[in-house]
Amino acid sequence: MKPKILIVDDSALSRRTLRRILESTGYEVVEADDGMAALELYFLEKPRLVLLDLVMTGMYGIDVLVKLREMDQEACVIVASADIQSSTRKMVDDAGALGFINKPFVTEQVVAAVERALEEGAIGETN
């Protein structure tokens, strides 16, 4: 069985799309529709990777990313957003994300980003 992935997005359509892509390639998926639920589920479910939207109601995705990294310095997070500005990508990288995928989702890009992030995360664990 492949690792568990937490999808965090306030859009039910985005969560459903990511779930379909990830489950079809063998990953176990859990979902949160806002930042507070994401932090709680991360603690309870211990996912290997988090796919995190930036623009959500309540808590902004970058704040969730910072809190996840405070809770777990080894947290593997990929940001999923329609925001393609280079300043946004830099902010996400600086906050500790292992990857960035654009919306709308393309199956091959999602799978490649997930596999790359999991590999990078695994390398980090062995050091």
Residues written for the chain: 127
> Which residue from 18, 23, 30, 4 is spatially nearest to 110, judged by alpha carbons?
18
Distances in Å between the alpha carbon of 57 and those of 32, 81, 95?
12, 14, 20
Per-residue pLDDT band for 123 (boundaries 50, 70, 90) equals low
Q: Which domains, and CATH codes, for the chain?
A: 4-126 (3.40.50.2300)
- Outline where DSSP puts E strands in 10-116: 28-32, 49-53, 77-81, 99-102
For 28, the 3-state DSSP assignment is: strand
Position 112 pLDDT exceeds 90: yes
Looking at residue 25, the DSSP 8-state letter turns out to be T
pLDDT tens, 7-49? 999 999 999 999 999 999 999 999 999 999 999 999 999 999 9
pLDDT tens, 60-104? 999 999 999 999 999 999 999 988 888 989 999 999 999 999 999
